[in-house]
Structure 1
Amino acid sequence: MKRIVLMLLFAAGLALPTQAEPLTLKLISCNLRNSAADDGSNSWPQRREATPRMLREEAPDLFGLQEALADQLAYLDTTCPQYARVGVGRDNGADEGETMAIYYLRDRFELLDSGTFWLSETPDEVSRGWDGACNRTATWVRLRDKASGKEFYYFNTHLDHRGSIAREEGIALLVRKIREIAGRKSAVVLGGDFNSSTDSEIFKPLNRWMKSARDKARQTDHKGTYNGFGAAPDTIVIDHLYFRGGIKCSRFATLDGDYGVPYLSDHYPIEIVFTL
């Protein structure tokens, strides 16, 4: 039937429908390492200029941060004014504590919706979940590309580093909340510092529903993402990006290059290039 319709349109001299061009985007996820930590020569004042340098060189369309404190966000707001920011501090829902911030290009995207929820039994309020050592959150955005009109969701999170139950329940909650917020068919990217490999049993709900960019991208690597400022082995993979809903991921990369300092953070940023 479709072929007959196309033949009739052609015979009538009418324009044939064209398939929309794919929209290609670049996204970076980065645990920034909070500025309150005393890391000696790797403390935030010694390495902060490397982050905007990395962003200029990599030129992502959007990026998500973990561990960012208010002073770090203010610095990036000033040095990277082409990006708008969403996200709240995990300790008061405003500006206290680490923020799972999302930045996106102001000129490219329209922000349709956004929010933050806590990884806990009471996700709609400031709270600590299960056996977690810290309050943990996920920040999300729904963006529309202004040129193409295409829409997608991005969820940025940081799972607990000590509580095994908190990580397990946090992943289950993330899957439920993504379904609730984005539905079952929308294009979605989820990423962040999971403080774990995704081979364990607790990630089954996620691995059944979404695809690992590291595993599925046409061009990829399996490098370690936690470097401990040089003190960790290069095999610790705890930062991840997942996708679903019509997204095709062409590239996954661990950004362990030289951005002007020995280490941008105690984690390497990870990057994907994907199409809608």
Structure 2
Amino acid sequence: MMKLNKILLLVIIGFIALGGCSNSEPDYSKFYQEPGSTQEKPDEPDSPGLADSKIKIMSFNIRYYNSDDTEDKAWNVRKAAFVPMVEEQKPTIIGTQEIRKTQFNWLKNNWTDYAYIDGNSTKIVETSGAPHNVNEVFYLKSILEIVNKGFFCLSDTPDKVGVGWSGSPRVAEWVIFRIKATGKKIFFLNTHLSLKTDGDYDCRSKEIALIKQKVEEFNTDNLPVAITGDMNAKLEDGLFETWLTFLSDSRKNAVVSDDIASYTGFGKSAQYPDHIFVSGFNIECFSTINKVYNGVTYISDHYPIMATLSFE
């Protein structure tokens, strides 16, 4: 009987020790390491194809192609990490920022499990006379199909091509996806907010207000919402109060999360400008992907961030 009791005790301890997204009381002691230090990641569930009620949303500023970036910062070095990162993390949707045409062509040829929204934001930026620096949405074509899609400029004339409040073209691209296995739909939007601040006038406040207006306009069926992007602001800056009336920040509200800075400037900084805001989902897990892939320490000057979501 004593031996049986010991075995039962070991089994119970084993269950308690299991971590990951199922842990309702995560250990947050690891969060208080120095910015930039490597932290263990919460265990992620398998590919969403194995659990049709779950999806993984990634936001990733890939760092635009810049000929001044040399050595390990150069695109031709960094791109070696892109395929293994995506193959391991298996995001269902990737909202990217700062893609230029050379990078876009490479990604669509190498992320072979993914389709892309294609072109609308590219056309806006090209017509505006800027470099080919756009936000593109990639999605697992085996899991999702497009129901509707569109784009708008972050400006006083959102339906017309032109520069925004910051003096450069800024675009939001939106998609309604259907999950093939279940028929469930989601509303997804990806963007890259402005940097420019002029005294008390902050053009990001106008961009945020416009995005909320457009989500309400296009999401007529009140579908679950996910918004990704490099917002060039941390949550504590107070710019997101308009969104927080109907959205939740996934980093802050996930059952299991981390506190790893998403912007590193290739190891020279520690900031939190990248976000995934959602509504209509349970936020199971949030992670900042700071792993080394194919010997590449910094996949970009930003780390990808990812939220694992289940439908409410």
* TM-score band, normalised by shorter chain: 0.7 to 0.9
Q: Which residue of 2 aligns with 1:174?
A: 211
Choose the corresponding residue for 2:292, options 258, 265, 276. Answer: 258
CA distance in 1, matches of 2:290, 2:300: 10
Which residues in structure 2 correspond to 1:91-170 (within 5 Å)? 91-92=125-126, 97-130=132-165, 132-163=166-197, 165-170=202-207
Task: State the secondary structure of the residue aligned to 2:239.
Answer: helix
**Separation of aligned partners in 1, 2:111 and 2:191:** 22
- The secondary structure found in structure 2 opposite 1:50 is helix
- SS of 2:242's equivalent in the other structure is helix
Tell me: higher relative CO, structure 1 or 2? Use CA pairs within 8 A at least 6 residues apart.
2
Q: Deviations over 1:164-189 (max 9, x none)?
A: 62211101111111111113721010
Matching of residue 39 in structure 1 with residue 69 in structure 2: yes
> Within the alignment, does 1:79 sit opposite 2:120 as a pair?
no
Identity of aligned residues (%): 31
Query: Please, what TM-score do these two structures have when normalized by structure 2?
Result: 0.77
Contact 1:218 1:251 in 2 (8 A): yes
Q: Who is 1:64 aligned against?
A: 95
Residue 310 of structure 2 is matched in structure 1 by 275
CA distance in 1 between counterparts of 2:237 and 2:301 reads 23
Q: 1:110 is aligned with what amino acid?
A: E
Q: What's the secondary structure of 1:48's corresponding residue?
A: helix
Deviation at 1:93, TM superposition (A): 5.9
Counterpart of 1:229 in structure 2 is: 266
In structure 1, how many angstroms separate the alpha carbons of the residues matched to 2:135 and 2:107?
Answer: 14
SS at match of 2:214: helix
Instruction: Note if contact 1:64-1:156 (Cα within 8 Å) is conserved in structure 2.
Output: yes
Choose which of 213, 233, 241 in structure 2 pairs with 1:196: 233
Q: For the Cα contact (< 8 Å) 2:187–2:224, is it kept in 1?
A: yes
Let me know the Cα RMSD of the aligned residues: 1.9
Tell me the secondary structure at the aligned position of residue 138 of structure 1: strand
- DSSP-derived class of the 1:149 partner: coil
Q: How far, CA to CA, are the matches of 1:138 and 1:119 in structure 2?
A: 7
The answer to whether the Cα contact below 8 Å between 1:133 and 1:160 also exists between their aligned partners in 2 is no
**3-state SS of paired residue (2:235):** coil
In the alignment, structure 1 residue 215 sits paired with structure 2 residue 252: yes
- For structure 2, the residue ranges without an aligned partner over 5 or more in a row are 1-50
From 52, 55, 66, the counterpart of 2:83: 52
- Equivalent residue for 2:16? none
Please report the TM-score for the alignment, with normalisation by the length of structure 1.
0.86
